[in-house]
Structure 1
Amino acid sequence: MLPHVILYNAVSLDGRITGFNADEELYYELASKWDIDAVLMGINTVLMGFKAEFGDKFEEDLDFIIKRERNPEDPRPFLVIPDSKGRIRIWSELFKMPYLRDIIVLCSESTPKEYLNFLDERNIDYIITGKEQVDLKAALEKLNTQYGIKSLRVDSGGILNGILLREGLADEIHLLVHPELVGGFKSNSIFQESNISSLEGIIKVKLSHIDKLKNDIIWIKYEIIR
């Protein structure tokens, strides 16, 4: 069984996810009210948040990471990160985030053995699905059966969102639309995928909620029509 998946993004009025004054406090305040079991975050989103590059490794307290408390009754959500190439090494910083229960890494059969050993040394759980890349559908099913994850929020950019949408794995889209226009030619929308060949490839949604919040920011919620 697949968990219920919510795509969540702050966007400008012209649909950009960067280049505008996003209200991060409002973004996380709203997210904190949702009853979810995990947060799925893309690699680029993680690294951008910590101003890190692929492969960067910060100073870490390895003993703390290994012996950290792992309470099965902890109500906080898991952090789930797909990383089949072993590019994230800043786990010491991620474990400092107080609103997360623990971390699960999604890997594939092509993930370097060295990286799996790296995770094992830090007592970090991982799931292996897919050959060259993570099979997200199989990974979501394992998150449900192995960890009891029934609902999941996606904090990511357009690439991971695009995969989830094209594979029919997303159930809802929540947008905080900010009253700013970014413009430009570079594509950085919430949905990045190959161009569709016909209108039959359009993903249709149904409006289920709209609300005006502070500073003229609009919260829009859509259900994805199967």
Structure 2
Amino acid sequence: MLPHVILYNAVSLDGQITGFNADVELYYELASKWDVDAVLMGSNTVLTGFEAEPGEIREEDLELMVNREKDPEDSRPFLVIPDSKGQIRIWNELFKMPYLRDIIVLCSKSTPEEYTDFLSERNIDCIIAGEKQVDLKNALKRLNSEYGINSIRVDSGGILNSILLNEGLADEINVLIHPELVGSMNKSPIFVSKDLNHLNSTIKLKLAHINKLKEDIIWIKYDIIK
């Protein structure tokens, strides 16, 4: 069974996810109200958030990582990250985030064995799904069957959002619309696709909720019509 997938982004009025003053506190305050089993985050989003370069290794306590407790009764969400290229090596810093239960990395058969060994040495679970890149549909099914993950919030950029939308894996979209216009030539929208060139190929949505929050920020929830 596939888990329920919630796409979540803070955006400017013109649909950009960068270049404006996002209310981070409000973003996570709203996110904390959703009782999800996992948070799915793109590898580029992780690297950007931690200001890390691909493959960068920082100081880590390997013994602490290996011997950390894995409590099956822990109700906090998993952090799930697709990383078939083996770019993320700063796992020690991710484990410092207090609101996460544990980390699961999604890889593919093309992922270097050196990287899967790197994860294993740190007692980090890894799911192999797909040939050259991560097969997200298969990976989501295994997250459900092997870890009991029934709901996932996606905190990521347009690329991962687009894969989930184009493959019909997302169920709803939540956006916090900020009263700012970016207008940049370097676009960073919540959805990137070269395949949707005509009106009958667009992804149809149904309004489920709208609410004005503080400082004229609007929270809109749409269900995805499949």
Task: Say if 2:19 is the partner of 1:39.
Answer: no
Alignment-derived partner of residue 194 in structure 1: 194
| Aligned counterpart, 1:118 | 118
CA RMSD, 1 decimal: 0.6
Deviations 1:156-205 (A, max 9, x none): 00000000000000000000000011102222100012142322210000
User: Could you tell me the percent identity over the aligned residues?
Assistant: 72
Match of 1:214 in 2: 214
Match for 1:45: what amino acid?
T
SS in 2 for 1:177: strand
- The secondary structure found in structure 1 opposite 2:79 is strand
The DSSP-based 3-state class of the residue aligned with 2:222 is strand
Q: Secondary structure at the match of 1:22?
A: coil
Residue number in structure 2 paired with 1:161? 161
- Correspondence list, 1:98-137, <5 A: 98-137=98-137
CA distance in 1, matches of 2:105, 2:189: 25
Partner of 1:53: 53
1:81 aligns with 2:81: yes
TM-score by length of structure 2 reads 0.99
Q: What TM-score, normalized to structure 1?
A: 0.99
Equivalent residue letter for 1:20: F
Tell me, yes or no, if structure 1 residue 15 matches structure 2 residue 15.
yes
Corresponding position of 1:27: 27
Which consecutive unaligned segments of at least 5 residues does structure 2 have?
none
Report the number of matched residues. Answer: 226
Structure 2 counterpart of 1:190, which letter?
I
- Find the aligned partners of 1:73 and 1:110 in 2 and give their Cα distance: 34
Q: Distance in 2 between matches of 1:182 and 1:62?
A: 43
Cα distance, 1:69 vs. partner?
1.1
Range 161-170 or range 180-189, more displaced: 180-189
Q: Counterpart amino acid of 1:186?
A: N
In the TM superposition, what whole-angstrom CA distance separates every residue of 1:50-69 from its partner, at most 9, and x where no partner exists?
A: 11110111100001100111
Please state whether the residue corresponding to 2:93 is helix, strand or coil.
Answer: helix
**Deviation digits for residues 48-105 of structure 1 (CA, Å, limit 9, x no counterpart):** 1111110111100001100111100100000000000101000000000000000000
Letter in 1 for 2:81: I
Query: Which deviates more from structure 2 when the two are superposed, residues 177-186 or residues 150-159?
Result: 177-186
* Distance across 1 between alignment mates of 2:214 and 2:65: 39
Amino acid across the alignment from 1:137: K
| Displaced runs of 4 or more, over 3 A | none
